[in-house]
Structure 1
């Protein structure tokens, strides 16, 4: 287990009957707990629907950087086709400076499915398929602004402002062969989602990422894979199964529960997934809307995996 690190994902979903402000407060409490327990990173998602407690993760990452001491923080993920690559580079170089280099930049090619929200964000009425096709070009531009990859004397030859900040590591989040190859070509780390309904859960995709990384970068030694999975962890199988059925009734059209059971069972399932996908990190999305249940699961898995808490 020493070669595996664990991270957490928070979507900020406001479950039926919950208060949005309290969900925000729970995220801060979870971040502080994960910081103390030795989790590697807390990832925050970007969504623009009314049942989420934040839209863009940047403001949350800035605040959480001040509320925590050790844990890494990241976006999972910036919907890059919607934005100016320069603005994204500036935001995340700034977050890198504010966090002491603890913030990483995760991007993806997705856009909101809601046509009203999409039009409001882009200022156009172009369909999602047209907008997502801009991902590769915007990613290439983002890399130039992050790295200052311009001729000498160019306005951005020293990279995006703030120029003094450490360049945030880049992750690409995806669920297919195209994003895996694009991540490898960009020398970016790759996070493969198992819980989105569109995911085929195909280990050949992560294998392709490492193979392409070696081809494009002259070796795969720096290739990093994280697997994002959803989990319902509880003290008994019966409690876990009941929660699994409940959350799937809420989100069944968009997401799935990947693993469920007691902490020991979830640990064994996580280790099997690590081996199957040859991953260095597992990103866990705990599908609990009850804070005390989620906290108990986070603590139990930290203990079972013997996460490093000395820092």
Structure 2
């Protein structure tokens, strides 16, 4: 099996019939479990006004870091449209001061993407979009047709969320400028209005900066130009992962911390002792994604025992995500991940796994860790 590292991305999902407090306790427990199994990193996602308990991601990162001892902990990713660079650096600097050398500061541009989509002039909005690429396979890896974000970005709830998360009249910063400000604050070279400012804590913190992206656009370009590691989101946008990785590598300029491109690719997985069990556990994944893509935000993760099958119309909305999820026995899942790593040239993979049954979720991580050959996961 591939020797590249394996990490965990946790969405801190609230499951049907449960609550946010339980989801948060489970995130801490899963982090401890992942550390014991030998996973390299434990990243937490930022989502708001949805059945996801990691909305205050930086707070939760601090709690997870305090409950673990060696695994790297980070964000996947801080949405810079909702935070100032100073607040991000001070928050991560605070955690690093107590848990030095363990933090990954992942950055994303979600807020700016929505601003660009809604501020485009009317004539440009009416122009015909390019024809999406046809579904195809690359050396065994499924590359589906792109999913259109137009409906999601036009969601009234998404607009209301943006309003709630920003101070009235505030402008979403340019992603490139925000990243540069964060790097300057960490390096101690930040200047505002001609005045040098030092983030305390934050300056000289042992924090690794990462860029997350789903396309060949600004995120991939910034990561490459700044010589930062890049995370390509196959679990979010499987249609554009390969072009994102290629764009990052083509734009890469060696930096003080990174002499060559470093790529992590994400994947949705569910592993179980049998294929039938795994598919039953994963049977409501499509319902969950359908809620997200409707613009209403992630619903409480549905219970397979009480949830009817997707309708044909619902299935069409999430078909690309269902068919690019890696589900089955540990060997089946690991083979799929090995193909993903080989085709993308990933230096590392990060898995996200959501099931209604938390013990089954922990078991999925354990089975995969053993199959992948993580040292700590080997039986005595």
TM over 0.5: yes
Larger mean Cα displacement after TM superposition, 277-286 or 109-118? 109-118
Whole-angstrom distance in 2 between the partners of 1:211 and 1:233: 35
Larger mean Cα displacement after TM superposition, 52-61 or 167-176? 52-61
8 Å CA contact 2:273–2:330 kept in 1: the answer is yes
Judged with a 3 Å threshold, the aligned counterparts in structure 2 of structure 1 residues 47 and 124 are, in CA distance, closer, same or farther, namely same
8 Å CA contact 1:35–1:68 kept in 2: the answer is yes
Q: CA deviation at 1:137?
A: 1.9
Structure 1 match to 2:273: 235
Structure 1 match to 2:97: 97
Structure 2 match to 1:180: 220
8 Å CA contact 1:107–1:173 kept in 2: the answer is yes
> 4+ residue stretches of structure 1 with deviation over 6 A?
none
Whole-angstrom distance in 2 between the partners of 1:186 and 1:55: 28
| 1:106-152 Cα shifts (integer Å, max 9, x gaps) | 010013862222112112378xxx83x6222212222211212257x
Whole-angstrom distance in 2 between the partners of 1:212 and 1:165: 26
Q: Does 1:117 align with 2:161?
A: yes
Q: CA deviation at 1:279?
A: 0.7
3-state DSSP class of the match of 1:169?
strand
Q: CA deviation at 1:167?
A: 3.4
3-state DSSP class of the match of 2:49?
coil
3-state DSSP class of the match of 1:172?
strand
8 Å CA contact 2:24–2:53 kept in 1: the answer is yes
Whole-angstrom distance in 1 between the partners of 2:160 and 2:267: 29
8 Å CA contact 2:90–2:202 kept in 1: the answer is no
3-state DSSP class of the match of 1:13?
coil
| 1:32-60 Cα shifts (integer Å, max 9, x gaps) | 11111110010001111141223121111
Whole-angstrom distance in 2 between the partners of 1:13 and 1:150: 37
Correspondence 1:1-311 to 2 at 5 A = 1=1, 3-111=3-111, 114-124=158-168, 131=172, 134-150=174-190, 155-156=196-197, 159-162=198-201, 165-178=204-217, 179-196=219-236, 198-214=237-253, 217=255, 221-252=259-290, 254=293, 256-257=321-322, 258-309=325-376
8 Å CA contact 1:105–1:170 kept in 2: the answer is yes
Whole-angstrom distance in 1 between the partners of 2:23 and 2:281: 18
Which protein is bigger by CA-based radius of gyration?
A: 2
List runs of 5+ in structure 2 lacking aligned partners.
115-152, 294-317
Whole-angstrom distance in 2 between the partners of 1:125 and 1:244: 43
8 Å CA contact 2:12–2:26 kept in 1: the answer is no
Whole-angstrom distance in 2 between the partners of 1:53 and 1:12: 5
TM-score by length of 1: 0.88
Larger mean Cα displacement after TM superposition, 3-12 or 134-143? 134-143
Whole-angstrom distance in 1 between the partners of 2:263 and 2:215: 13
Higher relative contact order (CA 8 A, sep 6+): 2
Q: CA deviation at 1:27?
A: 1.0
8 Å CA contact 2:96–2:102 kept in 1: the answer is yes
Q: CA deviation at 1:292?
A: 1.2
**How many pairs align?**
301
Whole-angstrom distance in 2 between the partners of 1:19 and 1:87: 28
| 1:260-299 Cα shifts (integer Å, max 9, x gaps) | 1111100000111001111111110012121111111111
The CA RMSD over aligned residues, in Å, is 2.5
Whole-angstrom distance in 1 between the partners of 2:107 and 2:257: 23
